[in-house]
A and B are shown apart, each in its own frame.
Chain A
Amino acid sequence: MGPGGPLIPAFEAETGLHVTYINMAGGPLQARIYAEGPHPRWTVAWFIGDAAMAALDGAGLLQPRIVSDAISWTPAARALLPADGAYAPTGLTVAGVFLTDGGAAPSTWPGLLDGSAGIGLVSPVMSGTAYPVLSALFAAAGGSDDGHALLQRIGAGRLQVAATNPLLIAQLRRGDVGLAILPSQAAYTLARREPSFQVTVPRPAGLVPAVIGISTGASPTARAQARRFVDFLLTPRGQALILQSTAEGMAWPPIEGVAPPPGLPALGDLTLIHPDPVMWGGRQGEEIGWFRREIAP
């Protein structure tokens, strides 16, 4: 979730607890969690993408019922809570938005078929954070088959695949592509810094939360302390600190009474879908295999 910033010291000052915080990319983080397996060294895992967290839950690595009933969730966030309460959303993002450098963007996914400008997408083969974008695209297009058809109709001539978000943004800057499909937090972060960039949220847009879970392997004391950290994040103060601290700060808050960061549209104005994390998480290997075969290795 990016550098700890003032979030961790604020929590430590408020609770008197000591936190050790390690930043990792999503992929290596999961590799480490699975490699540690029955001897986990972690107490709390926190990243974007509920499909990967649902998989950890399915593997029995997450403690159930980690959040208190007193939290006043927004309707969008409440809909994301798993039945066993094994993880909690700490912020809401949209997996795929359209970023342009001043040019017009379509308002729907099929609208991508119009026009001749190149369309950029980050490869889910190379980047662990790109699969939520792909699954949201497929879910928004009506399912796996319709999603495949949409990408194939856009065609290899127009579809440019990059290895990472920064590389795709570089392609957009130098005009190799006219439109980049990116996670909302990356697109809005760039648009806030460089106003020539414009963000369009397509209809429908796939909702992907930043999620937090607690290890079953942690001691009871550590689990209780971890719950306090989760509760802290789900307060107005915690949400304000997330905005200042992490790379994923440009997210919609999951709790009532907290305004979204400036520059983000009201969540209620968007047409949202939530790709089923268990279903799309389970299909990840298959979908990435299809992408590797049909679009780009």
Chain B
Amino acid sequence: MAVRALVPLLFGLVIAYPLLRFALLPLIPALGPAMTPPGGLGPGLGIALGNSLRLAGLTALCTVLPAMWLATMLERRCWGGARLLTGTLLLIFLLPGYLDAAGWQILLASRAMTALPRLREAFLGWPGLVGLMSLKALPVATVVIRAGWAGFQPRLDDATRLHVRSPWRRRTLGLRPIGPAAITAVLIVFVEAMHEYGLAATLGSRLHLKLLVSEVYASLSTWPISWFRAATAGDLLLLAALVPLAVRLWFGRLTPAPLDQALAVPARPPSRLEGSAAILATAALFAAGCALPLTALATDAVLPSAELLPDGAWAALFTSLLYAFVGALAAVGLAVLLASTRSGPGPLRWIAWLPLGNLAVPGIVLGAADIIAFNGPPLPLLGTPLALIVAQTATQAPLLALLLRAPIRARAAAFDDAARVHGVSWLYRVERLHLPPLLRPLTWAWGLAFSRLFFELPLAQMLAPAGRDTVSVVLVQLQQGLRFSAEAQLATAALLLCGTIVGATLLLAERRR
């Protein structure tokens, strides 16, 4: 029991230590780096906080209802386009924000868009920014809410049908079981939108929005570098995430209902209206989230003036593949440990959830925090691949822990107890009892982490050992060097590679379901 509590605690502290140290920097400046250029807090963080809250709140609100509907169509309805919709959501999720923004930039600069000034202005204003951020958030929100539907049991459906006469009331009651999942989705979208940088900094640049995330980037990337301002802005991001996180944990406590997929409500065919709307929505999502930006990028890739890829571009693909593979495995492992922590005294359990803070801050904060923390004793990891893998694990594990919490806690504990009483070995219990029902959610979690890490930028830029650039670093260098067609070629190859690996893995997991 003690070991089960201590292992996640230890991992949690190692993963949380850099961020904790960075977060305390405004209070204890001695925790900062020895070389601190002059610079103070400066004005404007309050306005940035207000703008960030507004943008994240709008994005979360605009995402949750469509995600609930899409999750319903995927989990409770049996229709031919379900796989297409899943694939579309996966593609939207795979396309990193900076490539999405690059594709939309090409589109907005096209003659077709110049002829539609009002549409273009909308894209470059609040509607476009919130719309595209919601679009990017839709896959994660849908996956989270699907997990909620998966736990819905037929006896609840039967009881509602028996006792509630009004069809409308039956429907609203039927939505209640996915309430906690919907709240988790809102929380994740809200927190991710708070620190989303690619779209907000590019498509939102015309709005001149002062956002917390851009304040962090500006403080760490313009001279004089201000650790103090960056850490304060990072603390505000943490605080802004803490409130919805507390709400989520409270809701999680209220609904400890076991999830048993064998008892899940069977899917039924959609009505004609539902089916048509779902097909239209899939087509619209595919166009806006993948086809349009990818076509724009691919068009640049095959221009007559297309340039050759720079030396090392293919090696960068392999490097990203390796880091993403190991980082995603480590993140899933830590997430399982975190999500299964239910024993131990209260404070220990809360400390074990400290790494969740990593979910609330942008990668560049973690990168800077890791450099400060790992540049000397007691953990001199900087310059080794381990520094990047630890940071990657820290960024992905919290989200995965939230996603895996329900399926892991729904394991039939009684089977484990019975097996233990009969002297069944730990390895056998894991292989035969625990792994089979968790194989699908674990594979999805791995795929999610892998695709995010494959294109991850700020950590790779700051922590990757010298001489081993990842594909994201090369892509951004090509963009900064105005080599757009080479960037498009490499991006297309990277998307194909990442999509094939994740798609094949998920397909295998679904077949073994």
Contacts and interface: CB of A to CB of B under 8 A. Distances in A.
B202 A3 contact: no
A25 B221 contact: yes
A38 B34 contact: yes
A128 B310 contact: no
A163 B202 contact: yes
A219 interface: no
Interface in B345-383: 364, 367-368, 371-372, 375-376, 380, 382-383
A91 interface: no
Interface residues of B, number: 67
Interface of B: 33-39, 42, 44, 47, 102, 105-106, 108-110, 113-114, 120, 201-202, 205-206, 208-210, 214, 217-218, 220-225, 305, 310-312, 364, 367-368, 371-372, 375-376, 380, 382-383, 458, 461-462, 464-467, 469, 473-474, 476-477, 479-484
Contacts of B375: 35-37, 39, 41
Interface stretch (A74-82, A138-146, A283-291): A283-291
Contact of A27 (B106, B221, B310, B469): B221
26 contacts: A3-B311, A5-B311, A20-B466, A20-B467, A21-B467, A22-B466, A22-B469, A23-B469, A23-B474, A25-B461, A28-B221, A31-B368, A35-B35, A35-B368, A37-B34, A37-B375, A125-B218, A160-B206, A163-B205, A165-B480, A165-B482, A166-B484, A174-B108, A174-B120, A247-B483, A296-B208
Given A21-B467, A24-B461, A165-B480, A31 B205 contact: no
A24 B466 CA distance: 10
A161 B201 CA distance: 12
A237 interface: no
Contact of B33 (A28, A35, A175): A35
Contacts of A160: 206
Nearest to B110: A174
A170 B105 contact: yes
Interface in A102-126: 123-126
B310 A3 contact: yes
Given A22-B466, A281-B223, A285-B224, A167 B105 contact: yes
A194 B371 CA distance: 41
Contact of B480 (A32, A55, A190, A247): A247
B269 to A, nearest CB: 46
A184 B224 CA distance: 24
A125 B217 CA distance: 9
9 closest A-B pairs by CB: A27-B221, A247-B481, A20-B466, A37-B35, A20-B467, A37-B34, A297-B210, A35-B371, A163-B205
Contacts of B214: 126
Interface string A147-178: 00000000000001111111101100111000
- Most chain A CB within a 10 A radius of its CB, from B222, B380, B466: B222
Contacts of B368: 31, 35
Given A20-B467, A175-B114, A30 B223 contact: yes
A36 B109 CA distance: 41
Contacts of B477: 2-3, 23, 247
A205 interface: no
Contact of B481 (A2, A20, A27, A292): A2
A35 B38 CA distance: 14
B372 to A, nearest CB: 5
Contacts of A288: 222
Interface of A: 2-6, 19-28, 30-39, 41, 51-52, 55, 59, 61, 123-128, 131, 160-167, 169-170, 173-175, 186, 189-190, 193-194, 247, 281, 284-285, 288-289, 292, 296-297
Contact of A169 (B114, B225, B482): B482
Nearest to A182: B482
- Most chain A CB within a 10 A radius of its CB, from B39, B113, B469: B469
Given A123-B205, A194-B305, A285-B223, 13 more contacts: A3-B310, A3-B312, A4-B312, A20-B466, A22-B467, A31-B221, A33-B35, A34-B35, A35-B371, A41-B466, A174-B120, A284-B224, A297-B210
A186 B484 CA distance: 13
A41 to B, nearest CB: 5
Contact of B44 (A35, A190, A284, A297): A297
A189 B483 CA distance: 9
B49 to A, nearest CB: 13
Nearest to B114: A174
A22 B469 CA distance: 7
A163 B221 CA distance: 13
Contact of A163 (B201, B383, B482, B484): B201
Contacts of B206: 160
B461 A28 contact: yes
A37 B462 contact: no
Contacts of B473: 23-24
B382 A36 contact: yes
Nearest to A186: B482
A3 B469 contact: yes
Contacts of B39: 285
Contacts of A163: 201-202, 205
Contacts of A5: 310-311
A296 B206 CA distance: 10
A36 B364 CA distance: 15
Nearest to B371: A35
Contact of A166 (B47, B458, B480): B480
Contacts of B484: 166
